[in-house]
Amino acid sequence: QQQVKQSPQSLIVQKGGISIINCAYENTAFDYFPWYQQFPGKGPALLIAIRPDVSEKKEGRFTISFNKSAKQFSLHIMDSQPGDSATYFCAARWGAQKLVFGQGTRLTINP
């Protein structure tokens, strides 16, 4: 049950478009859902996070939508830019501060 399933594995979006990455989980004990952004050769960096008592959180061009009943959450990147090209990981917290990560989505924004 300690799994987070992420899709798609890769995504190509035109500049200015909306990028959408989806994640699903089973364990209702998860209580914190961050998204991380990773550039090649770098460690992941926290992008945005949400608690399950909130249905949406927006920070700039990045929005998390959270559906507690469906046990799904998604990242939306509005007005996608070439600089957003990176690998994105969703994650869920369990057991103190341990995180379980999705498999990652490689996002490419075409200019």
Partner 1 sequence: GAGVSQSPSNKVTEKGKDVELRCDPISGHTALYWYRQSLGQGLEFLIYFQGNSAPDKSGLPSDRFSAERTGGSVSTLTIQRTQQEDSAVYLCASSSPLAPGQFSYEQYFGPGTRLTVT
Which residues of the shown chain bind partner 1 in the complex (CB under 8 A)? 4, 6, 32, 34, 36, 41-46, 49, 51, 89, 91, 93, 95-104
Q: Which is nearer to partner 1, 5 or 58 (CB)?
A: 5
Cβ 10 to partner 1 shortest distance, Å: 10
Strand partners, 108: 12
* Number of residues assigned to the chain: 111
Query: For residues 91 and 93, what is the distance between their CA atoms, to the nearest angstrom?
Result: 7
Q: Which is nearer to partner 1, 77 or 90 (CB)?
A: 90
Cβ 91 to partner 1 shortest distance, Å: 8
Q: Which is nearer to partner 1, 10 or 67 (CB)?
A: 10
All residues at 6 or more sequence positions from 43 whose CB lies less than 8 Å from its CB, including other chains? none
Query: For residues 30 and 23, what is the distance between their CA atoms, to the nearest angstrom?
Result: 13
Give me the torsion for CA of 95, 31, 29, 62, rounded to 10°. -120
Q: Which is nearer to partner 1, 31 or 79 (CB)?
A: 31
